[in-house]
Amino acid sequence: MPGPPAISLGIDVGGTKLLGVALDRSGEVLTEARSATPVGRGAPGDGGELVAAIAELVDRLLVDLGTAGADPGPAAVPLGVGVPGLVDDQGGLRFAPNLPGGEGLGVTEALSRVLGGRRVVVDNDATCATVGEWTYGAARGVADAVVITLGTGIGGGLIVGGQVVRGANGFAGEIGHMVVDPAGPACPCGKRGCWERYASGSGLGRMAGEAAQAGRLDLLVRRVGGDPEAVRGEDVTAAARAGDPGAGAVMAELGWWLALGLANVVALLDPALLVLGGGLVEAGPVLLEPARAALAGMVEGGDHRPPLPLVPAALGEAAGAVGAAVVARGQSRAEAGRR
C-alpha cells in the first residue's frame, strides 16, 4: 500500500471567504491563499462561479509551491474541500442554507472535471475542521470531543469513542440548526429560532443592530458616524475588547446563547472537550469568558461532572482547510474518521 501523498491541498468554503492551504505529511502549512466566496449568483445546483473560484485558488497554491507546470500528475497532489451544508457520500451538496447557488451541486464531480482528473474528496466544512483539530490541534488525543465552528452560521463535528461520526447519510453535526426558540427569527434553512440565529457571526450582527437601535450602543454608534445601522458585529467585538460596557453586554448576551446550545450538546453527547473554531472565536476572552460562565450553570449536574474545558481551536481559522487537506489523503472521506 502506498503511503499518504507528500503534499495535499485543502480548501475551506465559508459563507464569505475561501481559504486554501497546502499541507505536508507532518501537518506543516507550506502556503495558503484566500479569496471571496462568490455567493448569491446562479441557479441552485449551478455553482459555476464557485467551482471556478476553487479551481483558481488551487492554481494559486500550486504556483506558490512551485509545482505549476511541473506537477507530476493530478493524483500526486490531491484536493480536499470542505463546504457548508449537507454533503452526501458522493460529494454532492444536498442542502446549503448558507451558500446560495451551491445547493444541488455535485462538487466532487464538477471539480474533478475542471481540474483535469485530480483526486478530489469533499466533506462538510465543520467536519473538516474537526478532522484538522483532532489530527493536529486542540482535540488531538481526545476520544470524545465536539468541535463547533462559529462563522456566518454554526457547524459542528463529532468525535465519539475515537471516531469521527458522520451519521447514516453523512449529515451528522448540523448543530447550528437545533431550534432554541420556536418563535425566534427566521433561519435560511426554513425554520425559526435555530441556534445559529443567536450564536453565530450573523447572530452577533443582528444583536448589534438591535442594541444600536435601542440606544444601548451609543458610544459605538457615535464612533461609527452616528448611524445605528452602520454598526457591525466586528465593531461590537472591537469595542468590547476596548472596554465599552454596552458592547460588552452584547458579547455577554452572545456568550449566553452560545452556552445554551453547548449545554444541549453536552447533555446529548457527554464530551470530554468542547473546541470552538471559526472566525467568530477570534473575539477571544470577550466571548469565551461569558460563555464559560454561563455554561457552568446550564450543564445538567454541572457540580457533579468532571471539568469540561471550552477552548479555542488551536489551528484558528485554518482548521477547516487543514482538515480538508487531511481528508484528501484518503481514498474517501470516511478514512479520515479512523485512527
Residue type, 338: R
Within 13 Å of residue 39, how many CA atoms lie on the same side as its CB?
18
Task: Write the DSSP symbol of residue 190.
Answer: S
Over the stretch 106-136, which tens digit does the pLDDT of each residue have? 889 989 889 887 899 999 999 999 999 999 9
Q: What is the CATH number of domain 7-131+318-337?
A: 3.30.420.40
CATH architecture for segment(s) 141-313? 2-Layer Sandwich (3.30)
Residue 42: predicted pLDDT: 44
Residue 173: predicted pLDDT: 94
Domain positions in the chain: 7-131+318-337, 141-313
Residue 152: predicted pLDDT: 84
Place of cell 479551481: 55
Q: With b meaning 16 or more CB within 10 Å and e meaning fewer, what string describes 176-208?
A: bbbebeeeeeebbbeeebbbbbbbbbbbbbebb
Burial of 66 (0-12, 13-18, 19+ CB in 10 A): exposed
| Nearest to 248, CA basis, from 287, 279, 201 | 287
Residue type, 11: I
pTM of the model: 0.88
Q: Which set of grid coordinates corresponds to residue 238?
A: 472591537
| 7-131+318-337 against 141-313: fold identical | yes
Q: CA–CA separation, 96 vs 290, rounded Å? A: 30
Over the stretch 133-159, which tens digit does the pLDDT of each residue have? 999 999 999 999 999 999 889 999 999
Q: What is the mean pLDDT of each run of 10 residues along the chain (339 residues)?
A: 78 90 93 84 61 93 75 72 91 84 83 88 94 96 96 93 92 95 93 95 93 93 90 93 95 97 96 94 94 95 91 93 93 53
Burial of 306 (0-12, 13-18, 19+ CB in 10 A): exposed
Non-local CB neighbours of 1 within 8 Å, separated by 6+ positions: none
Q: CA–CA separation, 87 vs 61, rounded Å? A: 25
Burial of 1 (0-12, 13-18, 19+ CB in 10 A): exposed
Place of cell 494559486: 60
Residue 70: predicted pLDDT: 47
Q: CA–CA separation, 90 vs 220, rounded Å? A: 47
Q: Which set of grid coordinates corresponds to residue 52?
A: 471556478
Q: With b meaning 16 or more CB within 10 Å and e meaning fewer, what string describes 12-25?
A: bbbbeebbbbbbee
